[in-house]
Amino acid sequence: MVCKACILCEEGGGLSEASEVVRISSNVRRFRDEWFTVWRCPKCGSLHAKEEVDLDYYYRYYPAKSQTLSYAYRQAFKNRLKFLLRIGIKKTDALLDYGSGTGLFVSFLRDQGFSSADGYDPYLSDSKPVTRQYHVITLQDVIEHVEDPFELVERVKQLLLPGGIVVVGTPNASELDLRQPEVYARELHQPYHRHILSEPALNRLFGNAGFVPIGLSRRLYFDTLLPCVNSRFIGEYSRAAGNVVDVFVEPVRFSALARPQLWFFAVAGYFFPHKGNITVVYKLRA
């Protein structure tokens, strides 16, 4: 259904009251000529996609299905793993990567000794139903994709063991400037991102479901000190190559690398991070 009222905040802000409304095109090449409306709730600051869409149709042509475990992804996954270990996750923990896509991160974890790591993605026909509970569930770039975030959180809660951990990586609506949609095309990502939560809305959503926050990072896991593997370079390269996510699964476009600032950010981008993403660690109250 068309989204004209915020489903995330108790105040119930609506499209009719919103002062921030923008029309943006899809950042998937196949749908580049299609335009969508994104509006910000005037009460909680979350962002919503207005139009109803057939997500099954759009996911049929999703570029991420062609991802491989490239050098860049392997380095980024090492960064993501370091974060998990830093917050106390053990290799013996049963871990579910919910919304795992083609399963690259799960394969990486298994290679690193996580023998009880599983993946599940509702948009992959070969994903097996989840029938067990886990110590840890990761939701990396997932919650913004679903029509009903409340339903997702309840499902995660059912799949967690008492005292379990959920690691939520998602765009942070509180940091996204709708006056610069081209800068935040990856975060806005239409029509796939249905509800992009503000930081307060995210904490309230999980808090009301019985979770408490125990960890936080404001860096995208792609931020490393290695050349070209940082969020700022990735964003600048994407815009130079057409500002579509397809470029991340295609051969390098050397014509896009002609811009001098790209070479600067390739080396020093870590120190000029791209804002607009957040990772919050929540623990389920026992």
User: With bands split at pLDDT 50, 70 and 90, how would you rate the model's confidence at 9?
Assistant: confident
Predicted local confidence at residue 197, as pLDDT:
98
Residue with tokens 């909680």: 44
pLDDT for 67 beyond 90? no
Q: What is the pTM of this model?
A: 0.95
Predicted local confidence at residue 65, as pLDDT:
82
User: With bands split at pLDDT 50, 70 and 90, how would you rate the model's confidence at 182?
Assistant: very high
Residue with tokens 């600067």: 264
User: How far from 257 is each of 36, 63, 163, 181, 240, CA to CA, in Å?
Assistant: 30, 22, 47, 22, 8
For residue 191, cis peptide bond before it (omega within 30 degrees of 0): yes
Q: What is the CA radius of gyration of the chain?
A: 18
Average pLDDT, the chain: 94
Q: How far apart are CA 257 and CA 239, in angstroms?
A: 11
Q: What are the two backbone dihedrals, phi and then psi, of residue 191, each rounded to the nearest 5 degrees?
A: -95, 15
Compute the average pLDDT of residues 251-271.
92
Model confidence pLDDT, tens digit, residues 49-61 = 999 999 999 999 9
Could you say which architecture CATH assigns to the domain 15-284? 3-Layer(aba) Sandwich (3.40)
Predicted local confidence at residue 128, as pLDDT:
78
Domain ranges of the chain: 15-284
Q: How far apart are CA 230 and CA 118, in angstroms?
A: 27
pLDDT for 266 beyond 90? yes
Predicted local confidence at residue 125, as pLDDT:
61
DSSP result, 186-202 = HHH-TTT--EE--HHHH
Model confidence pLDDT, tens digit, residues 99-154 = 998 899 999 999 999 999 999 998 766 777 888 999 999 999 999 999 999 999 99
